[in-house]
Amino acid sequence: MSLENLMSPIKIGNIEIPNRCAMAPMGMGNALYASDEKWPKKVIRYYEERAIGGLGLIITGFIRVHGSLASFPLVGLYDDKFIPTHAELASRVHKHGSKIFHQIALTGGKFAGEAPSSIYSPNFYNKPRALSADELEMLVNCYIEAAGRGMQAGYDGAEVHGGHLYLIGQMMSPATNKRTDKYGGSFEGRMRFITEIINGIRLKYPKYNIGVKFSAYEELEDGIDLELGKKIAKYISDLGVDYLHVSTESSTLEVMSKLAPVPPMYLPRNTLVPLTAEIKKLCPDQVVMATGSITVPQEADDFIREGKCDMVVLGRTILADAKWAKNAKENKTITPCIRCNLCYYQLWLSEPLCCSMNPYLLHETEQELPIPAKIKNVMVVGAGPAGIRCALTASKRGHKVKLYEKLPYIGGMIYPGSRPDFKIDVSRAIDYFKKELSDSNVETVLSTEVTPEMVEKLNPDVLVVAIGAKPIMPQIPGINSPKVISAIDALRDISSYKKGKAVVIGGGDVGCEAACYLADNGFDVSIVEILPELLQENPNLNLKLPLLSLIEEKNVKVYTKTTPNKVTDEGLEVILPNGKEGGIEADLIAVAINQRPESLLIKDLTLKAEEFYVIGDCSSVGRIKDAVTEGERIGRWI
């Protein structure tokens, strides 16, 4: 793997960045920030870890430039009293050779009460008050002063946040700026606010570097379309900024754009690269940064080599692996981001970020593994994410670990979860676990079902049971028909089933993904869901909306408020929403209702060991994050 483009230095303004890998600005979840609006210690440590991880540039998360207007408490830079906390962050990052820009922003009408215009839009969660021209002039000054304080603190530059329909983005978007004064009414009017900010910083702090993040596309009625996005890019570039950071906006409650700014696993990788490439063509002398699900080093290198962008901005991938850049450079294993968007969901809940793949996110100081008092023989049963993580960690600490799996492959529930084409990032997680196991001292034994007798005979010092959970089948007549399988089995291997009509019972995540998978494999698919909506119990719109779009694109027929009643020779008999009986033809019925731990087997296994732990789905059915975190915790504990 040659990463010479990605790893080559680049100049931004008057500084040299050691490589082309930048960390995306990311808020940490409001619950983490204290009322003093300083960088919390653990956030400084989190950034430092990413500098150690070899990133050329770190762009901080959102920092507000006014103490009350158009924003809510985060980290502040609207007063000199904040300079020391920023100075501490900048110096801690510089110590490891990375450069750091601070992002300056105000939320405007998106989450606060003031905006360019007093209109309700799907992106404003309330009807904001329109800011007066005097207030906007005052806010221009706040951005300029915040940049000055950033410079004093020792940052290398300011990134002006003009995207994601925050205040500057709202000023630039025809969807949200309906003003008729000098700050609206025309393209130039809508661009006046950012122009005054950039010109003001340039004039007052001529040596300070300025980047701009902006939305080159908005999935919104009257929003920024692709043509306007390019016009904005060229205009901002011509203002003489030091880089353009190309993003988009898509946060209505009904649709998720194919050009979403934080693309989840149901959308392809490298989502915004083509759009960024067009902007790079328009502004060939400008440093242009691409973002949006860039996760694979070689792909990132290719984009730079092909002239599509000059730098890549990596968000979630750096949450999953703080050392992504260093590992890429040294050709070491990268912990992949599976784009499950749990971290992003945490942000919307205002909770501290956490990661499915990285249990040490925001716990960077706790990574050192404790030396065990005694080396033990550890038998881990079940090679899903909980079992693997536990085995790897226990082994790293020096224990002698054997990992057993009854199937001929590892992965547990993430194996079926990785099967649809659109879950390619989850299959990368399986490759990652495979590589980690093969590089470790863990002895992995596949195709071996562990029995209580085996445990008794092998007599390990510690038994870890991580056998996952079993699908629950509805107790309806005909359920034992050979045409009925679990959706998990359907996802595991559909090759032995003749293509035809398929019905999926259950419209949760697994059911919807299985339906898409069956459709991709040539089946004519229907979903039967008892609740009024598919994915009703999944509150994370960031995942729900694109999965619903896939269901639609793949022509899956949807029967909601419909109860499965009986499996017949023809298919599935159901009770329709009107209470009447109906029938859906099916050659195959895949059940995705729920799962439960196999309590009896767990009990029989654990009875044979003195020290034992039951972890992952067989303790309590949960997410990958729960399995990985628990596996790590027990791996450290043994």
Ligand X SMILES: Cc1cc2nc3c(=O)[nH]c(=O)nc-3n(C[C@H](O)[C@H](O)[C@H](O)COP(=O)(O)O)c2cc1C
Extract the tokens encoding 138: 């005052």
**Residue whose CB is less far from ligand X, 292 or 387:** 292
**Residue whose CB is less far from ligand X, 292 or 571:** 292
**Residue whose CB is less far from ligand X, 233 or 588:** 233
The region of 167-175, 291-299, 357-365, 585-593 touching ligand X under the rule CB under 6 A is 291-299
Q: Output the CA–CA distances (angstroms, integers) from residue 327 to 37, 230, 331, 356, in the order listed.
A: 33, 35, 6, 19
DSSP sequence for 355-379: -SS-TTTT-GGG-SPPPPSS--EEE
337 contacts ligand SF4 (rule: CB under 6 A): yes
Using CB under 6 A, which of 66, 179, 213, 389 touches ligand X? 213
Q: Nearest 5 degrees, angle CA 92-CA 97-CA 102?
A: 60
How is residue 399 annotated by DSSP?
-
Q: Considering only residues 53 through 92, tell me which ones interact with ligand X, judged by CB under 6 A.
A: 61-62
The answer to whether the beta carbons of residues 604 and 463 sit under 8 Å apart is: no
153 contacts ligand X (rule: CB under 6 A): no
355 interacts with, out of ligand SF4, ligand X, none, CB within 5 to 8 A per kind: ligand SF4
**Residue whose CB is less far from ligand SF4, 142 or 347:** 347
**HSE-up of 416 (CA within 13 Å, CB side)?**
24
The region of 160-168, 336-344, 553-561, 576-584 touching ligand SF4 under the rule CB under 6 A is 336-344
Using CB under 6 A, which of 319, 469, 558, 574 touches ligand SF4? 319
**Which residues does residue 573 pair with via DSSP β-bridges, in sequence order?**
566, 583
The region of 296-304, 343-351, 465-473, 537-545 touching ligand X under the rule CB under 6 A is 343-351
Q: φ, ψ for residue 574 (rounded to 5)?
A: -130, 165
Report the alpha-carbon distance of residue 208 to residue 197 in Å, rounded. Answer: 13
Q: Nearest 5 degrees, angle CA 512-CA 516-CA 521?
A: 145
Extract the tokens encoding 144: 């300029």
Using CB under 6 A, which of 262, 322, 338, 403 touches ligand X? 262
Which residue, among 101, 54, 52, has the nearest Cα to 297 in the 3D structure?
Answer: 54
The region of 284-292, 355-363, 411-419, 525-533 touching ligand SF4 under the rule CB under 6 A is 355-363
**Residue whose CB is less far from ligand SF4, 77 or 628:** 628
24 contacts ligand X (rule: CB under 6 A): yes
The answer to whether the beta carbons of residues 455 and 605 sit under 8 Å apart is: yes
Q: Considering only residues 26 through 65, tell me which ones interact with ligand SF4, judged by CB under 6 A.
A: none
The region of 3-11, 286-294, 395-403, 625-633 touching ligand X under the rule CB under 6 A is 286-294
Using CB under 6 A, which of 66, 190, 339, 419 touches ligand SF4? 339
**Residue whose CB is less far from ligand X, 353 or 614:** 353
* N-terminal to C-terminal alpha carbon distance within the chain: 38
162 contacts ligand X (rule: CB under 6 A): no
Q: Considering only residues 533 through 552, tell me which ones interact with ligand X, judged by CB under 6 A.
A: none
Using CB under 6 A, which of 38, 164, 316, 397 touches ligand SF4? 316
Using CB under 6 A, which of 261, 264, 417, 471 touches ligand X? 261
101 contacts ligand X (rule: CB under 6 A): no
247 contacts ligand X (rule: CB under 6 A): yes
User: Catalytic one among 46, 78, 166, 613?
Assistant: 166
Using CB under 6 A, which of 341, 444, 486, 526 touches ligand SF4? 341
Give the neighbor-by-neighbor strand order of the sheet with 581-585.
563-567, 571-575, 581-585
Extract the tokens encoding 281: 């063509």
293 contacts ligand X (rule: CB under 6 A): yes
433 interacts with, out of ligand X, ligand SF4, none, CB within 5 to 8 A per kind: none
292 contacts ligand X (rule: CB under 6 A): yes
**Residue whose CB is less far from ligand SF4, 220 or 547:** 547
Q: Residue with structure tokens 């199937």?
A: 407
262 interacts with, out of ligand X, ligand SF4, none, CB within 5 to 8 A per kind: ligand X
The answer to whether the beta carbons of residues 422 and 553 sit under 8 Å apart is: no
Report the alpha-carbon distance of residue 602 to residue 438 in Å, rounded. Answer: 27
Q: Output the CA–CA distances (angstroms, integers) from residue 332 to 312, 327, 446, in the order listed.
A: 19, 5, 25
Q: φ, ψ for residue 502 (rounded to 5)?
A: -125, 140
How is residue 126 annotated by DSSP?
S
205 interacts with, out of ligand X, ligand SF4, none, CB within 5 to 8 A per kind: none
DSSP sequence for 222-253: T---HHHHHHHHHHHHHTT-SEEEEEEE---S
344 contacts ligand X (rule: CB under 6 A): yes
The answer to whether the beta carbons of residues 258 and 340 sit under 8 Å apart is: no
357 contacts ligand SF4 (rule: CB under 6 A): yes
317 contacts ligand X (rule: CB under 6 A): yes
What is the nearest approach in angstroms of ligand SF4 to the Cβ of residue 476?
Answer: 36
- E-only strand ranges, 93-206: 99-105, 114-115, 129-130, 157-162
Q: Is 345 a catalytic residue?
A: no
**Which residues does residue 17 pair with via DSSP β-bridges, in sequence order?**
10
Report the alpha-carbon distance of residue 519 to residue 505 in Å, rounded. Answer: 15
Which residue, among 329, 556, 284, has the nearest Cα to 420 in the 3D structure?
Answer: 556
Extract the tokens encoding 241: 């900024």
Site residues (vs ligand X, CB under 6 A): 24-27, 61-62, 103, 161, 164, 213, 247, 261-262, 291-294, 314-317, 343-344, 347, 353
Residues with catalytic roles: 166
Site residues (vs ligand SF4, CB under 6 A): 316, 319-320, 337-343, 355-357
